């Protein structure tokens, strides 16, 4: 070792000698200034015992594999020293052939040019990424001084934040600052990242709502500052609030509407029910008057009785229709699979006399099976087809066409559109909505019989099944009533 001696002692690179068992026997003068351990700290101790277990294992394997012929070996490694700091090292070691003593030279490795370019590239990409974020990204030191911010906060110039004392806290609404200070202290003491919502107070005294994440910045094991990533939620929160209020208003209106509808329906039901009794009396006494005293009455008297009976009959029709209409909502619907072809056949059989009298032609396509209340379906077709015959043009025999088309939604048919069209008198566009109202009629009774309840009933039936009805028509050009109904009843549809 003698001729090695001066080189070992004088080397600018830290070096040490290990006996074959890995115990430090000599340390040169450069070791302490570089790594902080004095000769006394090291000599007589196993080198690997000074390192954390994982690092010790890695370095131990390398030393054990040193060739016995004295050839030197190099290792570029990152070693975590006892104080937790990482050091990039270039190690060179050789084993003396005879004694097995290991000479180890350690040089602190500086990042080479290639690595520096690589890191600079990462830096540029990182800057670009942070710049493009719509969130604000703010870094600070341990005292809460803002060091960087990726873009300007509206109304708060960046130079009022960067480098200013406590600038991490100044944009925050005063009453929320204590909570932020606590979070800040928590992050720098524990290294945890916190997520929270906070209010910013702008110089114009308006508030903004921000969702934030505050986390630590580490240098090795040491926390050197914080990073804050924060997102402006103000508009989103305002929109949510506006939507919440609108929904609340709609809910209130719906409740009011439901209440007044229920009251109206109860009124219609009670009124029509109670009117039946006095009406029956009028009919009964006018019948008796006619049967017993008709001979005694002069001609005008008989005419009066006749008119009275006609009026009573009309009142009876109105009451019956009103009762039927109000029962649509008061009675529970009974849904079942319904073959609409069978319903149509039954309706046409009921209307046989009328069809014949008017020499009407009915053309129907195959209709589907649907889930519905069978009585209501019968009522729907009955009303539409009898109207199509009733509102005929005097010079043309009625031709009524009934078609059906299944509407697919996401590949599967979920509803059916049925059209009942005629070649009758047609309806002016301005009445297309009105005719579905109760007691709405467009003609005098002398011209066309009816109470004006039929289409109101049709609309209520459609809505109760989750469907709809509308008309497409022009005066003199016939009418097409378009009914859309779901094929299945997923839930109970109740008219509000």
Q: Residues interacting with ligand ADP, by CB under 6 A?
A: 383, 387-388, 391, 422, 424-425, 427, 435, 440-443, 450-456, 479
- Written as six digits, the tokens of 482 are 């378009």
Minimum distance from residue 355 beta carbon to ligand ADP (Å): 15
Minimum distance from residue 479 beta carbon to ligand ADP (Å): 4
> Which element (helix H / strand E) includes 468?
strand 468-473
Minimum distance from residue 433 beta carbon to ligand ADP (Å): 11
Widest Cα–Cα separation across the chain? 162
Q: Which is nearer to ligand ADP, 46 or 450 (CB)?
A: 450
Q: Which is nearer to ligand ADP, 85 or 428 (CB)?
A: 428
Minimum distance from residue 453 beta carbon to ligand ADP (Å): 6
Minimum distance from residue 436 beta carbon to ligand ADP (Å): 7
Minimum distance from residue 403 beta carbon to ligand ADP (Å): 15
Q: Which is nearer to ligand ADP, 307 or 443 (CB)?
A: 443
The CA distance from 229 to 220, in Å, is 22
Q: Which is nearer to ligand ADP, 37 or 459 (CB)?
A: 459
Q: Which is nearer to ligand ADP, 289 or 384 (CB)?
A: 384
Minimum distance from residue 345 beta carbon to ligand ADP (Å): 21
Q: Which is nearer to ligand ADP, 243 or 443 (CB)?
A: 443
Q: Which is nearer to ligand ADP, 259 or 396 (CB)?
A: 396
Minimum distance from residue 210 beta carbon to ligand ADP (Å): 59
Minimum distance from residue 383 beta carbon to ligand ADP (Å): 6
SS3 track for the chain = CHHHHHHHHHCCCCEEEECCCCEEEEECCCHHHHHCCCHHHHCCCEHHHHCCHHHHHHHHHHHHCCCCCCCCEEEEEEEECCCCCEEEEEEEEEECCCCCCEEEEEEECCCCHHHHHHHHHHHHHHHHHHHHCCCEEEEEECCCCEEEECCCECCECHHHCECCCCCCCCCECHHHHHHHHHHHHHHHHHCCCEEEEEEEECCCCCEEEEEEEEEEEEECCEEEEEEEEEEECHHHHHHHHHHHHHHHHHHHHHHHHHHHHHHHHHHHHHHHHHHHHHHHHHHHHHHHHHHHHHHHCCHHHHHHHHHHHHHHHHHHHHHHHHHHHHHHHHCCCCCEEEEHHHHHHHHHHHCHHHHHHHCCEEEECCCCEEEECHHHHHHHHHHHHHHHHHCCCCCCCCEEEEEEEEEEECCEEEEEEEEEECCCCCCCHHHCCHHHCCCCCCCCCCCCCCCCCHHHHHHHHHHHCCCEEEEEECCCCCEEEEEEEECCCCCCCCCC
Q: Which is nearer to ligand ADP, 202 or 431 (CB)?
A: 431
Strand partners, 338: 370
Q: Which is nearer to ligand ADP, 208 or 478 (CB)?
A: 478
Strand partners, 117: none
Cα-Cα-Cα-Cα dihedral of 246, 251, 253, 254, to 10°?
140
Minimum distance from residue 247 beta carbon to ligand ADP (Å): 35
Q: Which is nearer to ligand ADP, 20 or 437 (CB)?
A: 437
Q: Classify the C-alpha dihedral 239-244-250-253 as positive or negative.
A: negative
Q: Which is nearer to ligand ADP, 350 or 440 (CB)?
A: 440
Minimum distance from residue 482 beta carbon to ligand ADP (Å): 12
């Amino acid at each position: 070792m003698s001729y090695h001696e001066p080189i070992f002692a004088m080397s600018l690179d830290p070096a040490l000698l290990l006996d074959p068992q890995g115990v430090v026997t000599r340390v040169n003068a450069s070791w302490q200034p570089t790594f902080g351990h004095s000769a006394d700290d090291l000599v007589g101790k196993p080198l690997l015992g000074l390192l954390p277990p994982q690092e010790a294992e890695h370095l131990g394997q390398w030393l054990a594999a040193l060739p016995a012929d004295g050839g030197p070996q190099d290792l570029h490694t990152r070693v975590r020293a006892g104080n937790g700091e990482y050091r990039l090292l270039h190690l060179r070691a050789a084993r003396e052939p005879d004694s097995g003593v290991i000479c180890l030279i350690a040089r602190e490795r500086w990042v080479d040019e290639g690595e520096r370019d690589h890191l600079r590239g990462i830096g540029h990409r990182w800057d670009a990424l942070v710049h493009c974020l719509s969130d604000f990204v703010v870094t600070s030191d341990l005292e809460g001084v803002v060091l960087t911010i990726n873009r300007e906060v509206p109304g708060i110039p960046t130079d009022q934040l960067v480098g200013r004392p406590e600038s991490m806290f100044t944009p925050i609404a005063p009453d929320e600052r204590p909570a932020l200070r606590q979070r800040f202290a928590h992050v720098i003491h524990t290294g945890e990242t916190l997520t929270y919502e906070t209010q910013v107070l702008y110089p114009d005294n308006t508030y903004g709502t921000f969702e934030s994440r505050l986390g630590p910045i580490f240098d090795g094991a040491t926390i050197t500052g914080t990073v804050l990533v924060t997102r402006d939620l103000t508009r989103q929160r305002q929109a949510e609030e506006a939507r919440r209020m609108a929904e609340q208003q709609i809910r209130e209106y719906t409740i009011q509407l439901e209440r007044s509808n229920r009251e109206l329906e109860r009124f219609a039901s009670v009124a029509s029910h109670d009117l039946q009794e006095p009406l029956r009396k009028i009919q009964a006494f006018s019948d008796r008057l006619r049967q017993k005293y008709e001979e005694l009455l002069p001609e005008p008297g008989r005419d009066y009785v006749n008119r009275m009976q006609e009026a009573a009959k009309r009142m009876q029709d109105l009451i019956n229709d009103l009762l039927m209409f109000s029962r649509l909502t008061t009675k529970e619907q009974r849904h079942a699979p319904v073959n609409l072809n069978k319903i149509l056949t039954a309706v046409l059989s009921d209307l046989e006399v009328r069809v014949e009298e008017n020499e009407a032609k009915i053309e129907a396509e195959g209709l589907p099976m649907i889930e519905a209340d069978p009585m209501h379906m019968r009522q729907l077709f009955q009303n539409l087809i009898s109207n199509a015959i009733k509102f005929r043009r005097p010079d043309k025999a009625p031709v009524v066409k009934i078609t059906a088309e299944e509407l697919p939604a996401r590949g599967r048919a979920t509803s059916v559109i049925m059209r009942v069209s005629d070649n009758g008198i047609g309806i002016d566009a301005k009445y297309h909505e009105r005719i579905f109202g109760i007691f709405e009629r467009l003609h005098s009774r002398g011209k066309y019989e009816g109470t004006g309840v039929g289409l109101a009933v049709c609309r209520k039936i459609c809505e109760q099944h989750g469907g709809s009805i509308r008309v497409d028509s022009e005066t003199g050009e016939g009418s097409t009533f378009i009914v859309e109904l779901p094929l299945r009843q997923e839930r109970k549809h109740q008219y509000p």
